[in-house]
Amino acid sequence: DIQMTQSPSSLSASVGDRVTITCRASQSVGTYLHWYLQRPGTAPKLLIYAASSLQSGVPSRFSGSGSGTDFTLTINSLQPEDFATYYCQQTYSTPLTFGGGTKVEIK
């Protein structure tokens, strides 16, 4: 199985901050790496697919980069609705695996 490790596991930030979350795969996943946002009590929402493609309807302050084993999600100018938990997922091979999540909290 490909293990996905996110860092940090949590962070505190203020509205307007730039936030970066990293995801590392235990082996290469090419660009089959996707990012989701999950607010409490709701289903996850796709933000970025194929490492850097912005999903339709997602604000342009979200961006993704990376390939192989190292990936980043960047949120420019954090907004109140962005305080949530973020997950990366690899779909290079089954079993599909998710990272452990990064909780973004209000400072």
Partner 1 sequence: QITLKESGPGLVKPAQTLTLTCNYSGFSLSSSGVGVGWIRQPPGKALEWLAYINWDGDRRYSPSLKSRLTITKDTSKNQVVLTMTNMDPVDTATYYCAHRLISTGSGWAIDYWGQGTLVTVSS
Q: Which residue's CB is nearer to partner 1, number 55 or number 63?
A: 55
- Nearest distance from C-beta of residue 96 to partner 1, angstroms: 4
- Nearest distance from C-beta of residue 56 to partner 1, angstroms: 8
Q: How many residues bind partner 1 (CB under 8 A)?
A: 27
- Three-state SS across the chain? CCCEEEECCEEEECCCCCEEEEEEECCCCCCCEEEEEECCCCCCEEEEECCCEECCCCCCCEEEEEECCEEEEEECCCCHHHCCEEEEEECCCCCCEECCCEEEEEC
Chain contacts with partner 1 (rule: CB under 8 A): 1, 31-32, 34, 36, 38, 42-46, 49-50, 53, 55, 87, 89, 91-92, 94-101
